[in-house]
Amino acid sequence: MKFFIAFCFAFCVLAANCQTIRVGLYTEKSLESIELSGFSGQYLLISDSIVKEISPKDILDVKIIEGNQMSLFLNQKFYSSPSKISLIQLQCINTLLIQSSSSNLKKISFEGDFEISLVEKRLNIINSLDIEDYIKSVVVSESGINLDLEYYKVQAVISRTYAMKYWQRHENQSFNMCNTTHCQVYGLRNNTNLLIDSAVKSTRSLVMKYKDDSYYPTFFHANCGGQTSETDYIWNEKMACFKSFQDTFCRKTKQANWEKEIPLEKWSKFLTEKYNFPINDESSIVLMSNFIQEKRMAFFIHPRYGIPLRDLRDEFDLKSTFFNCQVKDNIVYLKGKGNGHGVGLCQEGAIIMASKGYDFKQILAYYYTDMYLDKIVKLRLNR
């Protein structure tokens, strides 16, 4: 009975104080076994009809047996064969470590509640937690440490807006976001600091919206090389809210410039085989050998050749599409600017702006055209 009372108390506390997001963990992996350990605080283990309090010293192992049954082991002893396992925290600050015993995945600390079930012969792990705690983890995962408070506020608003915009992305899998780059990287909460906590708290519930009241698309990249990009230069869609402009803040940062050398034979083979580039035409060779982008372009040399710069970036693993090209001694010399697709917020530019005293609202308005800030009153209910 005491377990049931404790569970009810915990549920009431969480329901009253937390707006919950459900995150699918390791969705890109076919996990067949996991270990849960390093519990911080008390958890309730619910295994079908069995309820047990878990202490920080306990170790849980969940394994798939014969492809169609879960087995739960507690401290290396068989405990049950449940259809579903739930771990409910008794306080909003509890964490645990998850590690796969069948792969080389590192142990990662997560907080909140957990559900584990068997779906298509793999372990399906869903982590439920307060969305603001989720945002703290995403901010450190996407930004890193030792940055200014105003920049962390920028990243917090971006991350929260993204979560709201794509809230139903994994609806058919019974969660909101996954914890990979498909959605937002999440799982490093233990590495956050007081500045990140403060940034998330001070921007609580704030999201970006476009002038049509829709959630703003929150594209960002490491460095634009001094000029942001139009969306149709990178993808096959033009979005009015993203207009290319000169960004003077990122031009002297560590990712502002890059160089690469590629054998001419390899370069020419790709252009001729995929785009029928006139390799025997002298004027075309001259243009290819002296290609210069004073401003960002969508196509290599000229649109009539039909060679998107994004294709060259993908094929030769270039840091950006913003580069000049010269040919000498059968080598293609590339001198490029920036790192990433160049659409939306330039992270290094925003970091410099924050260091110069710009506040987060000014930084967001600089990179996102016709943006306005709004507050989430109440999240959509999870199914």
Domain count, the chain: 2
pLDDT along the chain (383 residues), means of 10: 45 55 90 89 90 92 89 94 93 81 74 92 93 92 90 97 94 90 78 86 96 94 97 93 96 95 97 95 94 96 96 97 96 98 97 98 97 80 37
**Same domain membership, residue 306 and residue 184:** no
- Enumerate long-range contacts of 265-268, CB under 8 Å, 24 or more apart: 265/330, 267/316, 267/332
User: How far is C-alpha 203 from the geometric centre of its chain's CA atoms?
Assistant: 19
Domain annotation covers residue 366:
no
Token code pair at residue 300 = 């290599």
Tell me phi and psi for residue 57, to 5 degrees. -85, -10
| Domain-embedded: residue 100 | yes
Largest CA distance in the chain: 87
Reference 95, options 83, 107, 81; nearest CA is: 107
Q: Are residues 80 and 186 in the same domain?
A: yes
Residue 72: partners with Cβ closer than 8 Å, 6 or more residues away: 47, 60, 61, 62, 78, 79, 80, 81, 82, 85
173 and 47 both lie in a single domain: yes
According to the model, what pLDDT value does residue 53 have?
A: 94
Region for 146 from its dihedrals, namely left if φ exceeds 0, alpha if ψ lies in -120 to 50, beta otherwise: left
Round to whole Å and give the CA distance between 245 and 230.
9
- Please tell me whether residues 292 and 169 are part of one structural domain: no
Number of neighbouring beta carbons within 10 Å of residue 3: 14
Residue 376 has a pLDDT of: 85
For residue 307, tell me if it sits in a domain: yes
Tell me: do 10 and 135 sit in the same domain: yes
Q: Which domain does 118 fall in, by range? A: 2-190
Is residue 72 domain-resident?
yes
Residues 182 and 266 in one domain: no
Do residues 186 and 319 share a domain? no
Last residue of a domain, one of 337, 353, 370: 337
Clarify whether residues 176 and 306 are in a common domain: no
Domain final residue pick, 170, 190, 210: 190
Residue 15: the pLDDT is 43
What integer pLDDT is reported at residue 379 of this predicted model? 54
Residues 116, 33 share a domain: yes
